[in-house]
Amino acid sequence: MNAHEILVVLGYGVLSAVATGLGALPFLFLRTLDPRMLAVANSIASGLMLGASFGLLREGAHFGTPQTVVGAALGVAFILLGEKVLEDREVSFGELSGAGAKRILLLLAVMTLHSFSEGVAVGVAFGGGATLGTLIALAIAVHNIPEGLAISAVMRPQGSSVLACAGWSIFSSLPQPLMAVPAFLFVEAFRPVLPYGLGFAAGAMVFMVFLELLPEAYRNTSRSAVALWVSVTLGAMILLQRFL
Amino acid sequence: MPSEPVLALLLCSGAAASATALGALPFALGRPPGRALVGLADALAGGLMLGAAYLLVGKGLDRGVGLVLAGAAAGVVYTWWIRRYAGLQELDEGTVAASERGYKLILQVGLHSAAEGVAMGVALVLDLRLGIFLALALAIHNVGEGVSLADALVGGGVAPGQAAGLCVAAKVSQPLLALALFALAPALAPVLPAMLGFAAGSLLFLVLTELVPDAYERAPALGVALALGATAAGVVLLEALLL
């Protein structure tokens, strides 16, 4: 293990973090921010987040199912607690405030926390060999694009700028390079924590989809439209995970 | 074909279809069930079916991507067409006369039941445990559907006993198609991925157009989210343990 290897791990971590920002790009071409677009954006984010979560659960079960379940329960508790804490507070996020700002804050917190486990996954994978590590890092980088899209799909309809969407998307992935290096150096110490982290992210995301994103989507557009967008994005996410 | 799986299939699918009649029971007793309870049952069945759809599509992708995609698209289109054909959009908006509600719902339940039968049969062909599990999920869904249907029928003046009969009759295609599919399984082997895709697509679309939004309308979002999330995630994790 030398400095060169550590730089490679760090480089792939940074690359995968920056990839998250690409998810904001489609919103350069969408200007109107009416309730129907909010519903469609929510549906897209829901499909992507459900697909990502199911993949994380399978990955977690690989390392230990009970730990994954505990992690998922902690993820649900985190969202409930977060909403409770934010309930009576005035929250502002940049120029935004109110319920939208709270949701963005929670989503960014979840996404950022979940990047810690992704970073650990990259580091642990490099510990198993450079080829495996490169493969996993590239896969996570590609997965990060729809995650950035999911974040942007929640932020943009609330009025955030595209630049802010991209910036916060990248921010949410910064723990990846930060965690990849120590995880690579101390693989054996980090491996047991992984299923908890994967389960946490999955539990929090699934719960957020069903508690917040989908109910709002159904209120603002037809059932068929919600179902179609969720089906297509969920399907795309499943294919992406399957073939990368 | 060994006789035991056939027996299991008959028992499961028959029990699932008969469960629909349970939906009429509260009306026969003169005690319509609370909306929140029905909503939570929707969420429970929805989560189980969503998880099952995820497993089925995964099994399909092991066997052939193109066929799975074609099948899934067909499943989505079929379920979408049912909504149009049975006029369910108007039903959601509440612009349908009470006398027509029962008729529209029977149409919807009957057409959905066909796709559910295909899903149950294809799951049984794949793995007996997966099939039994899906039959259980569909039985819960059937009870919920039975409640909605019996509600509309009894509200339109039908006797509860007859309503129970109509509930089961509307679901009869479920065991029949499951059985037919199972019997034809060897001949259908080349198109199995397409049928898995169809099953997954139609289940997913059914969950997203009926069960999930119905659940939100009937029960508090927190309970619905917990029930949906726990069941869907549970099924996905179950796969790692069982299959």
Q: Give pLDDT tens digits for A57-71.
A: 988 888 889 999 999
Cβ contact (<8 Å) for B209 and A223?
yes
pLDDT at A115: 83
- Which chain A residue lies closest to B202 (C-alpha atoms)? A231
Confidence class for position A33, pLDDT limits 50, 70, 90: low
Cβ contact (<8 Å) for A231 and B76?
yes
Give the SS3 label for residue B164.
Answer: helix
Tokens 């549970």 belong to which residue?
A: B234
- For residue B224, the chain A residues in CB contact (below 8 A) are 210
Tokens 């950022």 belong to which residue?
A: A112
Decide: A214 and A82 in contact? Cβ < 8 Å. no
Sorted by sequence, the CB contacts under 8 Å of residue A85 that are 6+ apart come out as none
Q: Which residues of chain B have pLDDT under 50?
A: 1-2
Cβ contact (<8 Å) for A234 and B224?
no
Decide: B184 and B125 in contact? Cβ < 8 Å. no
Cβ contact (<8 Å) for B76 and A228?
yes
Confidence class for position A110, pLDDT limits 50, 70, 90: confident
- For residue A68, the chain B residues in CB contact (below 8 A) are 237
* ipTM of the complex model: 0.89
Q: For the purposes of burial, counting CB atoms within 10 Å of the CB of B29, is it exposed (0-12), middle (13-18) or buried (19 or more)?
A: exposed
Q: What is the mean pLDDT of chain A?
A: 84
pLDDT at A72: 94
Cβ contact (<8 Å) for B54 and A54?
yes
pLDDT at B243: 59
Residue B145 amino acid letter: E
The string of pLDDT tens digits covering residues A147-185 is 888 888 888 888 888 899 999 999 999 988 888 888 888
- For residue B221, the chain A residues in CB contact (below 8 A) are 210-211, 215
Please tell me what DSSP assigns to residue B33.
Answer: P
How far is the C-alpha of A162 from the C-alpha of B106, rounded, in Å?
Answer: 48
How far is the C-alpha of B28 from the C-alpha of B13, rounded, in Å?
Answer: 24
How far is the C-alpha of B211 from the C-alpha of B45, rounded, in Å?
Answer: 8
Residue A163 amino acid letter: L
Residue in A62, A69, A206 nearest the CB of B229: A206
- For residue A234, the chain B residues in CB contact (below 8 A) are 204
Mean pLDDT of A116-125: 79
pLDDT at A37: 79
The string of pLDDT tens digits covering residues B60-102 is 999 989 999 999 999 999 999 988 887 777 766 666 776 677 8
Residue in B213, B221, B241 nearest the CB of A223: B213
CA distance B229 to chain A (A): 6
Strands (E), A46-196: 92-93, 96-97
Closest to B20 in 3D by CA, of B165, B135, B127, B137: B165
Phi-psi category of residue A91: left, alpha or beta, with phi > 0 → left and psi -120 to 50 → alpha: beta
Q: Give the DSSP H or E segment for B75.
A: helix B65-85
- For residue B92, the chain A residues in CB contact (below 8 A) are 223
